Amino acid sequence: MVKSQIILETVKQARSASTKRQFKQSFELVINLKDIDVKKNQINLNETVFLPNPPQNKSKVCVIASGDLSLRAKTDADQVLETGKIDEMSGDKRSARKIAYSYDFFLAETTAMPKVGKVLGKFLGPKGRMPLPITIDTPIENMINKYKTAIRIRGRTLSLSTKLGDEDMPDEQIVENAMLIINTITSKLPNNEKNLKGFVIKLSMSPPITLSAQEAI
């Protein structure tokens, strides 16, 4: 198991190595893997991780629904599309592509799923963003806010990268996010920790701090 104390020390090094910028930098994590045959498709990750300490700029959630479900979603969702709007996009690839690329997570009423698949599927599918089905009984407000704390880690290569948090977050919160992400990804690897090569932790415009798996475990 990766040691949280080692990750904490690496986060502190990354912070010390950073230069103050005119904007808020993000902490970033790169997980490097080994001994996985990507040509044989031994890795095909599309994991959703709900961060215990989400960054200020949370993930954007789009809800596709109608009636009462649509009304309840409007308070918390970044975008609510009435199901009829999907029909209007059937001949408008530009609008469909824009919607698909503008949001991180999609929640869609079950009755609208076939329509969504037909119109938006060609854009959402390749990005691993196909909607999660919801019903009229779904506690939509809670679900939207839950997915706003989520990140998606997707890839078929030996290097996976994701945002950990903002530079003004305490080190301990950055570490807590990192540990959850690392443990989630490790559990999905063919040989778990044996497939870990190492990690890189850095701020957006600052030098990377490299940590080998041997040091971390």
Q: pLDDT, tens digit, for every residue of 174-217?
A: 999 999 999 999 999 999 999 999 999 999 999 999 999 999 99
Question: What's the pLDDT score for residue 19?
Answer: 84
Identify the pLDDT of residue 170. Answer: 97
Name residues whose C-beta falls within 8 Å of residue 44's C-beta, 6 or more positions apart in sequence.
156
Three-class HEC string of the chain: CCCHHHHHHHHHHHHHHCCCCCCCCEEEEEEEECCCCHHHCCCCEEEEEECCCCCCCCCCEEEEECHHHHHHHCCCCCEEEEHHHHHHHHHCHHHHHHHHHHCCEEEEEHHHHHHHHHHCHHHHHHHCCCCEEECCCCCHHHHHHHHHCEEEEEECCCEEEEEEEECCCCHHHHHHHHHHHHHHHHHHCCCHHHHEEEEEEEECCCCCEEEEHHHHC
Query: Is residue 120 over pLDDT 90?
Result: yes
Residue ranges per domain, the chain?
Answer: 4-56+150-216, 61-148
**Longest Cα–Cα distance in the chain:** 55
Instruction: Note the pLDDT of residue 23.
Output: 87
pLDDT for position 7: 98
Q: Does domain 4-56+150-216 have CATH number 3.40.50.150?
A: no
Band of the pLDDT at 173, cuts 50, 70, 90? very high
Task: Output the CA torsion sign for 118, 127, 109, 69.
Answer: negative
| Average pLDDT over all residues of the chain | 94
Give residue 83's pLDDT. 87
Beta carbons within 10 angstroms of residue 211's beta carbon: 19
Give the per-residue pLDDT at 75.
95
Q: Which residues pair with 202 in a beta bridge?
A: 28
Contact 11, 28 (CB under 8 A): no
pLDDT at site 12: 97
Q: What is the pLDDT of residues 34-90, one digit of tens each?
A: 999 988 888 889 999 999 999 999 999 999 999 999 999 999 999 999 988 898 888
Q: What's the confidence (pLDDT) of residue 210?
A: 97
pTM of the shown model: 0.91
**What's 61-148's CATH class?**
alpha beta
* Mean pLDDT of the region 120-125: 93
